[in-house]
Structure 1
Amino acid sequence: MNFDITRDGSPLHAWKNSERMASVPVIACEQLVPAHARAVIISPHPDVEILGCGGLLQLLARQQRNLMLVSITNGSASHPGSKLWTAERLGIIRPQESAEALRRLGLSMNRLQWIHGGFPDADLAGRQPALIEFLRTYLRPTDVVFTPWRDDGNSDHQAVAQAAVAVGAEIGCAVHEVPVFAWQWASPEDPRIPWKRACKIHLDRWTQARKRHAIQAFASQLSGDPEAGLAPPLTPAMLERMQQPFEVVFV
């Protein structure tokens, strides 16, 4: 499929008034992750776990599910060519931003296993065998895995999703995909979205508020670099569409 993630998608009111979105069935957290299962959130870059699953993470923590977060890269390539946001600075700051965001969600680090992959940012497409081997080390048959959607429009998201799906098929664990950048380019009627696989996780106002607060921890992603001609990676319009009273999962 062809995507242009620099293209701004439908405005928020189009999503709110969408009959297609209204018809997407609601799924309960406990249906997605049974009591005996461990939830594994795989994040290609620091912030994806909050943007895609910030509400789900809170619900899982309230239900005292075992949680594992797998950060594949440190996100050091988000501002290419910037002297303000250098790769060295980002490699330190972005994981710290993720830790602060998780704290803002109310997650206890004592109940969260956090694995850092150390893979190079923006260079995962050619590392599929290594990704598969890495995930194979940590995933278990009883896990329920959440990964970005393979057709999200980002090569790192695609590589991670394909590796997770491959390992899931091999060991028998459930793998669900979550749209992230799709909120940037898609429309409510977009035929490229796998609507038949879509389910909504309802988020109450408190859960939404905490997710919004957590997203604000990613100062690097809310900032551009005018001297380098770089806009903020996360635009206000994109964040609006990510902060609706639900999260979408393709099951």
Structure 2
Amino acid sequence: MATGMGDRDPAHPIDARGTAEEDWRAWPDLAQFPLLDLDGVRSVVVVAPHPDDEVLGFGGSLALLAEAGARLRIVAVTDGEASHPNSPTLAPGELVARRSAERAEALRCLGAESAEVVKLSIPDGSVGAAQAEVATRLNALCSGFDLCLAPWPGDLHPDHDATGRAAEAAAVAAGTPLAHYPVWMWHWAVPGQGEVPWHDGRRIDLPANIQRRKAEAVNCFTTQIAPLSEHPDDAAILSEQMLAHFDRPTEIVFR
């Protein structure tokens, strides 16, 4: 998720203190978006710029779809090798293996272990430079599916934004309906913020058992939610404040 950003920029919204989950939960509009009806959706492609994005942004919905017997395809755009670029503990290849195993275990927790995972192996942090290639490859991977989910192109993480734009182009070419899931937006935005397309917001309600499945799945990503070691370059990527945004009884997408 928080990969491919290079040196941290204190002025960048992603590196700012961020909005507390309590502020989002106090916003009445959060529970009032129209429902996105997943009944009848028999096949879904979820495009993830890094391992964990598909679970953070759409994991509860993945569990619901798996429970309903839908065909699921996860398109892994990068392998997430740049989350700890200066780690003294894990080399990039070792991190790739760890993150791949974390995704597999997370999908198992969601009841979606049969989901097909297609890896594009675009270098982490370089999706923008490969956006045209990603769009071309996604076109074939989305064709014939009922729905494609991809990051919101305004998420303000360069890999997320480029992946979202590539998915838009691919979905139009393939004739596949598209929805966007936000990830970083919950950190840097505030309720009602103007540049966020709230008018396109749709809500998926998550029953208690599905919320538990999603929480278990998020906890699988130990390379991101816990330090690799005590060394500063091995610090956790996702703070507790950030993780709180994905422990809700709903998921929101833009459609």
SS at match of 1:119: coil
Shift of 1:186: 1.5
Q: Is the 8 A contact 1:3 1:185 kept in 2?
A: no
Three-state SS of the structure 1 residue aligned to 2:252 is strand
Aligned to 2:207: 204
The 2-side partners of 1:150 and 1:3 are apart by 16
Q: For each residue in 1:94-150, what CA deviation from the matched residue of structure 2 results, as whole angstroms up to 9, or x when unmatched?
A: 0110000011112242xx222111111111111112112211232214431000111
Distance in 1 separating the partners of 2:152 and 2:205: 19
The answer for the alignment partner of 2:126 in structure 1 is 123
The AA in structure 2 aligned to 1:126 is A
**Could you say what secondary structure the match of 2:16 adopts?**
coil
- Secondary structure of the residue that 2:121 maps to in structure 1? strand
Quote the Cα distance in structure 2 between the aligned partners of 1:21 and 1:128: 32
TM-score, structure 2 as length reference: 0.90
Per the alignment, residue 4 of structure 2 pairs with none
**Corresponding residue of 1:85:** 90
AA matched with 2:131 = Q
Q: Matched residue pairs, number? A: 244
C-alpha deviations, 1:174-203, integer Å up to 9, x for none? 111000111211211222211000011001
Q: Is 2:35 the partner of 1:26?
A: yes
Report the identity percentage. Answer: 32
Residue 61, structure 1, aligned to residue 70, structure 2:
no
> Is the CA contact (8 Å cut-off) linking 1:24 and 1:198 kept in structure 2?
yes
After the TM superposition, which segments of 4 or more aligned residues of structure 1 sit over 3 Å from their partners?
228-231
Superposed CA offset, 1:18-73 (max 9, x none): 1232332222322xxx34x4200111110011101110001111111111111111
Q: Aligned residue for 1:179?
A: 182
d(CA) in 2 for partners of 1:113 and 1:96? 14
Query: Is 2:222 aligned against 1:219?
Result: yes
Whole-angstrom CA distance in 2 between matches of 1:229 and 1:72: 24
2:46 maps to which of 36, 41, 49: 41
Q: Distance in 2 between matches of 1:3 and 1:199?
A: 28
CA contact (8 A) 1:6 1:184 kept: no
Deviation at 1:232, TM superposition (A): 1.4
- Report the secondary structure of 1:70's partner residue: strand
Q: Distance in 2 between matches of 1:142 and 1:27?
A: 17
Equivalent pair of 2:44/2:145 in contact (CA under 8 Å): no
- Rounded Cα–Cα distance in structure 2 between residues aligned with 1:10 and 1:189: 12
Alignment-mate amino acid for residue 22 of structure 1: A
> Helix, strand or coil for the counterpart of 1:159?
helix
Q: Give the secondary structure class of the aligned counterpart of 1:96.
A: helix
State the shift of 1:221 in Å.
Answer: 0.2
Aligned residue for 1:114, secondary structure, equals strand
Q: How big is the shift at 1:212?
A: 0.5
Cα root mean square deviation, aligned: 1.7
1:69-88 Cα deviation digits (max 9, x unpaired): 11111100011211123312
The residue that corresponds to 1:243 in the other structure is: 247
2:220 partner letter: A
